Amino acid sequence: MNMLHKTDLGLLALLSNEYENYIAAEADAAKVGRYYNVEDESGQIKYVGIHPAHTQAQQHLKSYIALCNEFGFSPASRSKISMPISEKIVSRAAGLLKKAV
């Protein structure tokens, strides 16, 4: 399809890196938990906080999705990009038709 150019390789590498970071952050969040309890001086739970590992995973996922949209990897973003039109004649009939017009 000739949709990617050499200049896109850096962005594609960044997309791959964000996915790797997301997977690693998800593994960390699964180990330590997504939330933690904040206690007062008497040991009573004051509130439940969001663990930084969960926040980090969500940030990597958001960046990954944004980069995927740049490349048209979702149905909605794919509908916004146009495919290059090939001048290659597909069949003999199409060639004759093109000559007639």
Count of CA atoms in the C-beta half-sphere (13 A) of 1: 6
Beta strands 35-39 and 45-50 are antiparallel
pLDDT at 31: 94
Residue 57: burial class (beta carbons within 10 Å; 0-12, 13-18, 19+): buried
pLDDT at 73: 79
Domain extents in the chain: 6-100
pLDDT at 77: 72
Q: Is 46 helix (H, G, I), strand (E, B) or coil?
A: strand
The per-residue pLDDT for range 2-53, each reduced to its tens digit, is 566 676 788 888 999 999 999 999 999 999 999 999 999 999 999 999 999 9
- Please, which pLDDT band fits residue 86 given cuts at 50, 70 and 90? low
Predicted confidence (pLDDT) at residue 89 exceeds the cutoff of 60: no
CA angle 78, 89, 96 (to 5 degrees): 135
pLDDT at 42: 92
- Please, which pLDDT band fits residue 87 given cuts at 50, 70 and 90? low
pLDDT at 56: 95
pLDDT at 4: 63
